[in-house]
Structure 1
Amino acid sequence: MGESNAQRIRVLADACAGEAVLRHVALDGAEQAFTWRELDDRSSRLAGALAARGLGAGDRLGIGLRNSPEFVFAVFAAWKLGAVPVPVRWDLPEWELARLREVVAARVHLSADDLAWIDTTADGPVPDLPDVVSPHGHGICSSGSTGLPKVILSDRPAFHDPVFSTPLMQMWRPVARPQTILVLAPMYHANGFTTLFGLLAGDRLVLSAKFDAARAVDAIERHRVTTFTATPTMLQRIADLPGIDARDLSSLDWILQGAAPMPPSLARRWCALIGPERLAMAYGMTEALGITALRGDEWLARPGSVGRGLRGTEIRILDDKGDDLPPGRPGDIYLRSASYHGYTYLGDAPRLPTTPDGFQTAGDLGHLDADGYLYLLDRRADLVITGGANVYPAEVESALIDHPAIADVVVLGLPDQEWGQRVHAVVEPADPASPPSADEVIAYAKSRLAAYKVPKTVEFTEIPRSAATKVNRGAMRAARGG
């Protein structure tokens, strides 16, 4: 199968020993730079220290660290021991973190308390390490739509495969390498972790300890960043920065948006900021069932689409009986792709529904057009059924986010005696000292949505987003009696 990830690290250390390939922007804005030689040596020494703590081939290494050089050292060290690196969210309440760690069942778990210990391994001889390959390249923790912790292990062993570091934009045109990749997402999220595959392919990383819109733009200008992956929330916060139109974004060759549907107004804003041919939008999931994508110029011709299947991805839209639906009819999105290597679940979360011929669904709803372009509506678990009508929260959120006094919004379905469920909007005002009124928000929604989709109730509060800018809708509903 070619080089293992561990072998690839050594090859790059020999070939590019003196070039700075990893830059870290700390919480206070301070920066560190590391060469491949330093990454190789530091991770080998850490691997030796982890082996002394009992970590070996096939074991799982829990990594509960912020984006940092130590995070990268730990992942590389796991690969060098044939262990499975499993990033673990560090921004969870203690009770939830304890439950997740029980599912991960790591032989060794590294947290912020271990940073000083990791730093003590920086010096000394580089140990001889076994030539082994992890049976699972990595794991990603997810709560999915059920709220139950689950760990998704890639069934692909830790071999270097250029397919997984090929820029998505290369599906449309050549992309110059090496890229300079700005890492905005926490590396416990798939969007953050997979940038390490670009590093193994010879790209350079600029690693942000935490997403901050202003610092992200500073980093783009200072380091001539050529690409990054971001959620719509991240892109919204960057686009809302004062003076963003005057900033130098010319180094950006292309960017990728994923993780959630892109509000149309925000897609058009980024098409104007960098050019539609430099914006790609994708739909996929941690289980790597397949991927769909399209470029900004395609999106302008098909607003709201998340593209067609790439890399051999096949798409079916099925009804509740498992029958295929025609173009334009919404149903459950099922994907299948021979390009991906499957996954293994840990934990008690329910497995994904699967058809007899191997199509699977992550619980999302959508429809296809006549040309095979997919339109994502929402997660089935988030669907609001009010008065017998289906309301997709993402559509309501896209309508409300354009209000100049709204910084963020999450729409939920809450129990209602008259309607079964009512559409409820949780709004974070742009200016907390001067929020819009509930009547103003409702009137704005009425001007943009069918009457049954308009929120019946509105509340104003700060929205609790994770470091990956995601929200736990289940927890938000439960806190409001849902």
Structure 2
Amino acid sequence: MRSVDPIELVVAALAVRERGGVPAIGDIRWSEGHWAELARSVNDAELPPGAAWATFSSGSTGSPRVIVRDARSWSTSFPALTRLMALTPNDVVLLPSPLVSSLSMFSIAHVLDAGATVMLPANSAVSAAECEPATALHGTPGALGSILDRIDAGARTHLRLALIGGAHLDATLRSRAEKAGIRVVSYYGAAELSFVAVDEAGHGLRAFDGVELRVVDGELWSRSPYAALGYLPGETGSFRTDANGWSSVGDSATLSVDGILTLQGRRDGAILTAAATVVPEDVEAVLRTLDGVKNSVVFGAPHPRLGSLVCAVIEPEDASTPPTSAALRAACRDRLGVAQIPRRWYLAPKLPLTSSGKPARAVIARDALAERMLRLA
């Protein structure tokens, strides 16, 4: 079924689920070739016993993979999340992420279970009229920022809570929302793992109810009833589960003695430059604090002597007056190690995003290296 009407898609997906099938909603923006390839792999696949839902990885590093899970892997987390959101049947939950996102499909199942109302925007951008009836938001930092822009421009809203996942939540954005009277709860999770850790008030991520955490050789592992069954047979990815039920998607992290989880990005995303290892997310966190920088993506460009050069693509606060590379380098000197400071700087008026609201890292790096972005002198 190919449709751009979100309500029609949700009704169709829930009908498939009611009949005992396994619904999966794709992205209308996928190419015909990708749709055909995906249809072949799905039609030929033998689903594992108990399969109830299928979602997709975000595709930030390649083509989306089909992730299969049983019903309990989502429903078991519903009571804890309902308590965390203080959700009641009177709530209207706004879900602005595309339906291809596992965040959206999970949310629809959860909100309906809680007896609340699901609100799907007509377009990718939430309108001022759609802001008003919403009492809760489950989405990405980008969605929250867009709604706050609407509120600043005079839109009325009853929004009391924003549940934010899918990407890094900047402390400034949290503060801005709280000043608008919106409680912000951020979390870390993955399409393969569902909820892993939650930050209720900006004091740091802690294990979500029912989740155990451990870090082994710098890699985060979790154990919970929320993990997926795995990918479709024949597909491979970063998701691994050991014999004792511990799962990982390859994220680097540290875990303090009092249980605060600090994420440091995917291990396979690290940049090796002149024998130093640079974690892109560490550099990005600093760049987002610099004057004139709204968002950034850091990646490695091949170099014959150094292995890789650290490169940064900057989305400026004001596209008409972007910061210069000299100003950015100067601002980084006291905040980053020598190896971490980007050698090349590129400018993107707006960073491309994946369907789930994360920066499209592979696309951004490809376009920068192909000089399809302005390179700052």
TM-score, length basis structure 1 = 0.67
**400-409 or 366-375, which moves further after superposition?**
400-409
Q: How far did 1:403 drift?
A: 4.4
Q: How far did 1:227 drift?
A: 0.8
Does structure 2 retain, via aligned residues, the 8 Å contact 1:85–1:137?
A: yes
Of 334, 343, 351, the match for 2:229: 343
Of 177, 180, 187, the match for 2:92: 180
Work out the CA distance in 2 between the residues paired with 1:292 and 1:336: 12
Work out the CA distance in 1 between the residues paired with 2:227 and 2:307: 42
1:441 aligns to what? Answer: 328
Does structure 1 retain, via aligned residues, the 8 Å contact 2:88–2:114?
A: no
Work out the CA distance in 1 between the residues paired with 2:171 and 2:102: 24
Gaps of 5+ in 1: 1-62, 108-133, 320-330
CA displacement 1:402-434 (0-9 Å, x = unmatched): 445444321112122343222211123344444
Work out the CA distance in 2 between the residues paired with 1:291 and 1:473: 23
C-alpha spacing 1:356/1:344, structure 2 compared with 1 (3 Å) = closer
Q: How far did 1:356 drift?
A: 3.3
Q: How far did 1:247 drift?
A: 5.3
Of 126, 132, 150, the match for 2:65: 150
Q: How far did 1:218 drift?
A: 3.9
In the alignment, does 2:206 pair up with 1:294?
A: no
In the alignment, does 2:98 pair up with 1:190?
A: no
2:260 aligns to what? Answer: 373
In the alignment, does 2:220 pair up with 1:220?
A: no
> Following superposition of structure 1 onto structure 2, how do residues 375-454 of structure 1 map, counting pairs within 5 Å?
375-403=262-290, 405-454=292-341
Secondary structure of the 1:210 match is coil
Does structure 2 retain, via aligned residues, the 8 Å contact 1:384–1:390?
A: yes
Letter of the 1:203 partner, please give it.
A
Work out the CA distance in 2 between the residues paired with 1:182 and 1:427: 29
1:474 aligns to what? Answer: 362
CA displacement 1:113-147 (0-9 Å, x = unmatched): xxxxxxxxxxxxxxxxxxxxx94322102265762
Q: How far did 1:99 drift?
A: 3.0
C-alpha spacing 1:200/1:65, structure 2 compared with 1 (3 Å) = farther
Does structure 1 retain, via aligned residues, the 8 Å contact 2:26–2:99?
A: no
Letter of the 2:250 partner, please give it.
G
Work out the CA distance in 1 between the residues paired with 2:121 and 2:229: 28
C-alpha spacing 1:429/1:253, structure 2 compared with 1 (3 Å) = closer
Does structure 2 retain, via aligned residues, the 8 Å contact 1:415–1:422?
A: yes
Work out the CA distance in 1 between the residues paired with 2:91 and 2:44: 33
Q: How far did 1:290 drift?
A: 4.9
**436-445 or 452-461, which moves further after superposition?**
436-445
Q: How far did 1:246 drift?
A: 6.3
Does structure 2 retain, via aligned residues, the 8 Å contact 1:281–1:293?
A: yes
Work out the CA distance in 2 between the residues paired with 1:351 and 1:398: 24
2:373 aligns to what? Answer: none
In the alignment, does 2:315 pair up with 1:455?
A: no
Letter of the 1:255 partner, please give it.
A
C-alpha spacing 1:137/1:426, structure 2 compared with 1 (3 Å) = same
1:465 aligns to what? Answer: 353
Letter of the 1:459 partner, please give it.
Y
Letter of the 1:92 partner, please give it.
W
2:209 aligns to what? Answer: 311
2:175 aligns to what? Answer: 268
Aligned-CA RMSD value: 3.1
**81-90 or 144-153, which moves further after superposition?**
144-153
Letter of the 1:281 partner, please give it.
S
Secondary structure of the 1:233 match is helix
C-alpha spacing 1:210/1:332, structure 2 compared with 1 (3 Å) = farther
Q: How far did 1:166 drift?
A: 3.6
1:210 aligns to what? Answer: 123
Work out the CA distance in 1 between the residues paired with 2:160 and 2:102: 22
Secondary structure of the 1:455 match is coil
Does structure 2 retain, via aligned residues, the 8 Å contact 1:186–1:210?
A: no
Q: How far did 1:376 drift?
A: 1.1
Does structure 2 retain, via aligned residues, the 8 Å contact 1:67–1:207?
A: no
Aligned residues: 364
Gaps of 5+ in 2: 371-377
The percentage of aligned residue pairs carrying the same residue is 26
CA displacement 1:331-368 (0-9 Å, x = unmatched): 1100101x336413114223623333221111111111
Does structure 2 retain, via aligned residues, the 8 Å contact 1:99–1:149?
A: no
Of 34, 38, 51, the match for 1:96: 34
Of 145, 156, 165, the match for 1:236: 145
2:55 aligns to what? Answer: 140
C-alpha spacing 1:105/1:193, structure 2 compared with 1 (3 Å) = same
Does structure 1 retain, via aligned residues, the 8 Å contact 2:311–2:345?
A: yes
Of 162, 165, 171, the match for 1:258: 165
Work out the CA distance in 2 between the residues paired with 1:177 and 1:318: 42
C-alpha spacing 1:333/1:71, structure 2 compared with 1 (3 Å) = same
With a CA cutoff of 8 Å and minimum separation of 6, indicate the structure with the bigger relative contact order: 2
Q: How far did 1:436 drift?
A: 2.8
TM-score, length basis structure 2 = 0.84
Work out the CA distance in 2 between the residues paired with 1:263 and 1:411: 17
2:187 aligns to what? Answer: 282
Does structure 2 retain, via aligned residues, the 8 Å contact 1:66–1:90?
A: yes
Does structure 1 retain, via aligned residues, the 8 Å contact 2:144–2:162?
A: no
C-alpha spacing 1:84/1:387, structure 2 compared with 1 (3 Å) = same
Does structure 2 retain, via aligned residues, the 8 Å contact 1:181–1:205?
A: yes
C-alpha spacing 1:91/1:402, structure 2 compared with 1 (3 Å) = farther
C-alpha spacing 1:376/1:65, structure 2 compared with 1 (3 Å) = farther
Letter of the 1:185 partner, please give it.
S
CA displacement 1:48-85 (0-9 Å, x = unmatched): xxxxxxxxxxxxxxx55445221122112212322211
Letter of the 1:231 partner, please give it.
T
Q: How far did 1:174 drift?
A: 4.4
Letter of the 2:152 partner, please give it.
I
> Following superposition of structure 1 onto structure 2, how do residues 51-200 of structure 1 map, counting pairs within 5 Å?
64-66=2-4, 68-105=6-43, 135-142=50-57, 147-156=62-71, 161=75, 163-166=76-79, 168=81, 170-171=83-84, 174-197=86-109, 198-200=111-113
